[in-house]
Amino acid sequence: MTQAHSGTDASTDGGGPRQAGGTRARLTARFLRWWRPRGMWRRGIVTAVAALVLTGLFVFHADLPNRVGNLGSLLETFLPWLGLAIPVLLAVALLRRSVTALIALVLPATVWLNLFGGLVTEKSSPGGDLTVLTHNVNAENPDPDGTARDVVKAGADIVALEELAAGEVSRYSGDLAAAYPYHSVQGTVGLWSRYPMTDVRPVDIKMGWTRAMRASVRTPHGEVAVYVAHLPSVRVKFDAGFTAGQRDSAADALGEAIAAEPLHDVVLLGDLNGTMNDRALASVTSQMRSTQGAAGNGMGFSWPASFPMARIDQIMVKGIEPKSSWTLPRTGSDHLPVAARLQVP
C-alpha cells in the first residue's frame, strides 16, 4: 500500500520554478526568432544612409549654399528640430531589426547633443546687477495695455519694445511711465529705462525708415551702450524660397554700428528674425554673446508664441557677463518676451 504524499512536488506544480524557467526559455526563443541574425547587418541600409545624411546636415549646415532660396539660413533657423528625426529613424531601425542602422544612428545623436545638448541644461548662476527685457509687442496686438502691464510686472531695469504701431506709442509710454521715467521711441522701436539715458539716436540699418536705435544708459554700475533693433521679417515662399535678403543687409549694417561703438559694455535687445545658428547674422553674432546660450535654461524659443519653434528674439552682450536668461509668459503678442540678468563689470 503506497502512502500518499502530503506535500506538493515543486517540480510539477503549475506555478513552480520549472514552469517559470520554461516561460523564460520560450520568451528568449521567441525574441531570437524575431531578431534573426541572418541578414540583420544587411537590413536597414536606407535607414542607415538617412542617418548619415542627417549627420551631414548637422555637421556641414554652414556649407549649405544660400544662393538658391537661402536654403542654408532656412535650415539653420530650425536646425535643432532636425533632432526629431533621430527617434523616428530609431523606431524604423528597431522595426527592421537592423544593427547597421542602429550603429549609424549613434552619429547624428552624438552630433546633436554636441550642438544643442548644452542648451537644454540649466546654465544660470546667481548674481547680476542689471535686468533687461525685450519684446516684439506686435503692431496688431489686441491688448496693448495688458501687454504693458505684463512688461512692468517683470521688473526689468531696461525694457526694449519692437514693432510699435504709431497709434499705440502714447499708450505704451503712459502705461510704462511710472516704472520707467526715462524713455525714447525711434521709429517703430523704443527703449524704457529706470536710469538716465544720453546720446540717444536712431541707427541706420539701410531700410529707409527707423527700426533700430542706440542709447547710453547710466546704470549704477557703469555706462552701458544699449541697442534696440527689429530686423526685417523673412518669409518662406514656394517660388522664391527663404526670402531674407533685406534682413541680411540690415544685419550687416547693425553689425557695423556695434563694431564702431566706443563704449566697452554693450547690450543688444531686439527681434533679429534669425537664430544664433543663422550664418546671415554673423556680422552681429561673431562679436557678441547670446545670453540664452551662455546662461539660459532650455532652448528659449520665443516665436510663435502659440507654439514657440525658434529663438528669434535675442539679448546679446559684449563686455558684460550674462548670469541668467529666460522667456516670460505669453502676452497679447505673437512673440514671447525674453529677459536676462547681467553683471556689469
Domains and CATH numbers, the chain: 45-120 (no CATH), 130-343 (3.60.10.10)
Tell me what the mean pLDDT of segment 206-221 comes to.
96
pLDDT given at position 279: 87
CB 180 within 8 A of CB 226: no
Residue 53 has pLDDT above 70, yes or no: yes
Nearest to 315 by CA among 334, 341, 282, 281: 341
Beta strands 222-230; 266-271: pairing state: parallel
Grid-cell match 536676462, residue found: 340
Q: What is the residue-wise DSSP string for 302-324?
A: -BSTTS--B--EEEEEESSEEEE
pLDDT of 4 over the 70 cut: no
pLDDT of residue 243: 54
pLDDT tier for residue 78 given thresholds of 50, 70 and 90:
confident
Identify the CA nearest to 340 among candidates 99, 165, 168, 159.
159
- Grid cell digits, residue 169: 506709442
Average of pLDDT values for 211-227?
97
Longest dimension (CA), the chain: 116
The fraction of the chain above a pLDDT of 70, given in percent, is: 86
Measured between alpha carbons, how far is 230 from 339 in angstroms, rounded to an integer? 16
Per-residue pLDDT tens digits for 283-310: 999 999 999 999 998 899 999 999 999 9
Q: Does the structure show a pLDDT above 90 at 234?
A: no
